[in-house]
Amino acid sequence: MLNDPDRRPPPIIGSMLTLASHRRDFLRALLAAPAGLTLSFTASGQNAAPIKGSKLSANLALVTGDGGNIAIVISKDGLLMVDSGLAERSGDLLSAVNEQVDAHRITLVFNTHWHLDHVGANELLGRAGSKIMAHENVKKRLSQKIVMEALNRTVEPLKPEGLPTRTFNGAGQLNFGTQKIQYASVPPAHTDGDAWLFFPGPNVLHTGDLLFNGGYPFIDDSTGGWIGGMVAAADAMLLTVDARTRIIPGHGPLATPDDLRASRDMLATVHERLAAMARQGKTVDEAVAAAPTKDLDAKWGAGFLKGENFTRIAYTGLLRHK
Ligand SMILES: [Zn+2]
């Protein structure tokens, strides 16, 4: 069953606040040190945010509290899950979907990118017979060991049953039940295999981690991510939305097109400043010391990443991209 927003406390707001503060504490603690950053995706135990399902339209639900934000498309023949949370919470996620959203089987998983807070239930669902769809580079990345230097973390490949069974590169349309869903991959941005989905009926966009609503985004230079691509991806998504579109970001509360535009403009400003430093031959440490985001940190640095850590990650990615 879906939560009925008319009869219950507003689930989106409550759960989103929990999610936002959870993510903030989580990333802040882990990314606090400029060197030897350590990222643990563990989110189980008493500090884990509750997993909450809330209805966005008759056939579309948002599930928060388990890694990246998850969307569920409901049809009479089964469910489509967009992103699948953290591996250690996959049982909790499936129970939450079953109890709070809809009891149909999950027949299709769509991964917006390869990160392990978006693919955690892939193995469980793949073993149970769900199809898994993603950009071709998601399959490539999930098949290999990845060293994420910025986070001082090595990520092991998924078991074969967790890998995408259907891959794409570019844009397409997916018919799921009676719903037509548009999707598109973008050139390297947050990673080298990002895709967003647009649901024209309820007018909802799921950005994956192409948007961190309300803060500086993590950009994964270990798999091709770079800030110029983040700007281009935001531009592409802005062409798809209208003023009334509701936007599910990869992390953070539901966003408006104005939120997406503000994030895009911030990224474009930082990109310009970092590109100038790259032309001057500045090292990463010199770029961080110059504090190029100082005037932006009050607005953007209180969320997922501080300005200093964002500068380090974004500048490293920019230098690698050149
Ligand atoms: Zn990500």
Q: Is residue 79 part of a domain?
A: yes
Q: Is residue 221 part of a domain?
A: yes
Q: Distance from the CA of 289 to the center of ligand 1, in angstroms? A: 26
Q: Is residue 81 part of a domain?
A: yes
Q: Distance from the CA of 26 to the center of ligand 1, in angstroms? A: 14
Kindly state the average pLDDT of the residues 250-279.
Answer: 98
Q: Distance from the CA of 206 to the center of ligand 1, in angstroms? A: 13
Q: Is residue 6 part of a domain?
A: no
Q: Is residue 56 part of a domain?
A: yes
Specify the number of domains making up the chain: 1
Kindly state the average pLDDT of the residues 155-180.
Answer: 97
Domain that includes residue 214, residue range: 11-321
Q: Is residue 217 part of a domain?
A: yes
Q: Distance from the CA of 83 to the center of ligand 1, in angstroms? A: 11
Amino acid at 17: L
- pLDDT attached to residue 304: 87
| pLDDT tens per residue across span 58-106 | 999 999 999 999 999 999 999 999 999 999 999 999 999 999 999 999 9
Is residue 57 over pLDDT 90?
Answer: yes
Q: Distance from the CA of 209 to the center of ligand 1, in angstroms? A: 5
Q: Distance from the CA of 114 to the center of ligand 1, in angstroms? A: 7
Q: Distance from the CA of 7 to the center of ligand 1, in angstroms? A: 34
Q: Is residue 5 part of a domain?
A: no
Q: Is residue 3 part of a domain?
A: no
- 233: domain CATH number? 3.60.15.10
Q: Distance from the CA of 210 to the center of ligand 1, in angstroms? A: 8
